[in-house]
Chains A and B, each alone.
Chain A
Amino acid sequence: MSLDEKFLSYEHLRHGMDHERYDWSMLERREPVTWPGRAPLALWINVCVEHFPLNPQSPGFKAPGNMTMPYPDLRHYTLRDYGNRVGIFRVLEALDGYGFHASFAVNGELVERYPYLTRRLAERGELLAHGWNMDCAHSSALDEDTERQWIRQTLAVLGRMSLKPIRGWLGPARSQSSRTPELLAEAGIQWCADWVNDELPFHFQTQSGALVNLPLSLELEDRFIINDNLHSETEYAEQLIDAADCLLAEGRERGGRLLALNLHPWVIGQPHRIGQLERVLEHLRDFGDQVWSAAPSEIIAAAGLALEGSSR
Chain B
Amino acid sequence: MKSDPGLYGYLPWDRRPEIRWPNGARVAVWVAPNIEFYELEPPVNPQRKPWPRPMPDVLGYATRDYGNRVGHMRMMRVLDQFGIRGSVSLSTAMLTHHPEIIDLVLERDWELFSHGIYNTRYTYGLSEDQERAMIVDAMQRISDYSGQHCDGYLAPALSHSEHTIDLFAEAGGSYTCDLFHDDQPTPVNTRSGRRFVSVPYSLELNDTIVYVVNKIEPRRYGEMICRAFDRLYAEGERSGTVMCIPLHAYQVGHPHRLAAFQRALDHVCSHEHVWLATGREIAHYYLEHYYDQAIATMREIEEATA
Interface set of A (CB-CB < 8 Å, partner B): 1-4, 6-8, 10, 12-19, 24-29, 60-61, 139-141, 173-178, 194-199, 215, 218-220, 228-231, 235, 238-240, 242-247, 250, 259
Nearest-neighbour CB distance to chain A for B164, whole angstroms, equals: 14
With A141-B54, A197-B69, A238-B217 known, 8 other A-B pairs at CB within 8 A are: A3-B46, A7-B130, A26-B73, A27-B69, A176-B56, A197-B62, A197-B65, A242-B260
A242 → chain B, closest Cβ, in Å?
5
Q: Is there an interface contact between A26 and B72, defined as CB atoms closer than 8 Å?
A: yes
List which B46-104 residues lie within 8 A (CB) of chain A.
Answer: 46, 53-56, 58-59, 61-63, 65-66, 68-70, 72-74, 93, 96-101
Q: Report the bound CA distance from A235 to B222 in whole Å.
A: 14
Supply 17 A–B pairs (Cβ within 8 Å), ascending by A: A1-B125, A2-B125, A7-B126, A8-B126, A10-B117, A13-B97, A18-B39, A19-B56, A60-B54, A175-B53, A176-B58, A195-B62, A199-B255, A220-B255, A235-B219, A240-B256, A243-B256
Q: How large is the interface on B (under 10, 10 to 19, 20 to 34, 35 or more residues)?
A: 35 or more
Which B residues lie within 8 Å of A4 (CB)?
43
CB neighbours (8 Å) of A6 from chain B are: 43
Most buried by A among B58, B69, B217: B58
Q: Tell me which of B41, B69, B72, B130 has the highest count of chain A C-beta atoms within 10 A of its own C-beta.
A: B69
**A3, B126: Cβ atoms closer than 8 Å:** yes
B127 contacts A175, C-beta separation under 8 Å: no
* Assembly CA distance A259 to B118 (angstroms): 31
- Asked if A173 contacts B255 (CB within 8 A), the reply is no
In the bound complex, residues from chain B placing their C-beta under 8 Å from that of A173 are 59
| Residues of chain A lying within 8 A (CB to CB) of residue B129 | 2
CA distance A184 to B7 in the complex (A): 54
Residue of B nearest to A26 (CB): B69
Q: Which residues of B contact A (CB under 8 A)?
A: 37, 39-41, 43, 45-46, 53-56, 58-59, 61-63, 65-66, 68-70, 72-74, 93, 96-101, 117-118, 121, 125-127, 129-130, 133-134, 215, 217-219, 254-260
- Once A1-B127, A140-B54, A247-B255 are accepted as A-B contacts, the answer to whether A7 and B43 lie under 8 Å apart by CB is yes
Distance in angstroms between the alpha carbons of A165 and B259 in the assembled complex: 41
Q: State A156–B239 Cα separation when bound (angstroms).
A: 71
Residue of B56, B61, B93, B130 near A3 (CB, 8 A) is B130
- A17/B54 in contact, CB under 8 A: no
Q: What B residues does A16 contact at CB under 8 A?
A: 97
Cβ–Cβ < 8 Å partners of B63 in chain A: 196-197, 218
With A1-B125, A17-B97, A26-B100 known as contacts, the answer to whether A239 contacts B56 (CB < 8 A) is no
CA separation between A15 and B100, bound complex, in Å?
Answer: 10
User: Chain B contacts of A178 at CB under 8 A?
Assistant: 55-56
